[in-house]
Amino acid sequence: MISVDISNIWGEIELNDLLKMEKDVFRAHKTLTEGRGEGNDFIGWLNLPTFEMTEELRRIKAAARKIRETSDAFVVVGIGGSYLGPRAAIELIKGQNHNLNEDDPQVFFAGNNLSTAAWQDLCKQLEGKDFSINIISKSGTTTEPAIATRALKWMLERKYGAEKAKERIFVTTDPNKGALRQMATEEGYETFVIPPDVGGRYSVLTAVGLLPMAVAGIDPAEVMLGAAQARKDFDERSFNNPVWLYAAARNLLYQRSKKIEMLCCYEPDFKCFGGWWQQLFGESEGKDGKGIFPATAEFTADLHSLGQMIQQGERTLFETVVRFEPPRRKTAIELDWKNLDGLNYLEGKTLDFVQEQAFLGTLDAHVDGGVPVILVQAGDVCDRTLGELFYFFELACGISAYMLGVNPFNQPGVEFYKKNMFHLLGKPGY
Ligand code: PA5
pLDDT tens digit sequence for 145-178: 999 999 999 999 999 999 999 999 999 999 999 9
Q: Which residues of the chain have pLDDT under 70?
A: none
Instruction: Answer for the pair 306, 274: CB distance below 8 angstroms, yes or no.
Output: no
> Phi then psi for 103, rounded to 5 degrees?
-75, -25
* 3-state SS class at 49: coil
Q: Return the best residue to mutate from 76, 79, 83, 279 for the ligand 1 pocket (most ligand atoms within 8 A of CB).
A: 79
Number of H helices and E strands in the chain, helices first, is 15, 10
Bridge partners of 177, per DSSP, are none
Atom of ligand 1 nearest to the CA of 83: 7
**378 Cβ contact list (under 8 Å, min separation 6):** 2, 322, 323, 324, 385, 388, 389
Q: What is the DSSP letter of 406?
A: S
286 close to ligand 1 (CB < 6 Angstrom): no
Which pLDDT score, from 0 to 100, does residue 23 have?
97
206: left (phi over 0), alpha (psi -120 to 50) or beta: beta
Would you say 28 and 210 are in contact if contact means Cβ atoms under 8 Å apart? no
Question: Ligand 1: does its nearest atom lie under 6 Å from the Cβ of 37?
Answer: no
- For ligand 1, whether the C-beta of 149 sits within 6 Å is no
Confidence at residue 365, expressed as pLDDT on a 0 to 100 scale: 97
- Quote the pLDDT of residue 415: 84
Q: What's the CA gap between 125 and 90, in Å, rounded? A: 18
228-254 pLDDT, tens digit per residue, is 999 999 999 999 999 999 999 999 999
Distance 414 CA to ligand 1 centre (A): 9
Asked whether the beta carbons of 294 and 281 are under 8 A apart, the reply is: yes
Q: Is 86 in contact with 76 (CB distance < 8 Å)?
A: yes
Ligand 1 centre distance from Cα of residue 78 (Å): 8
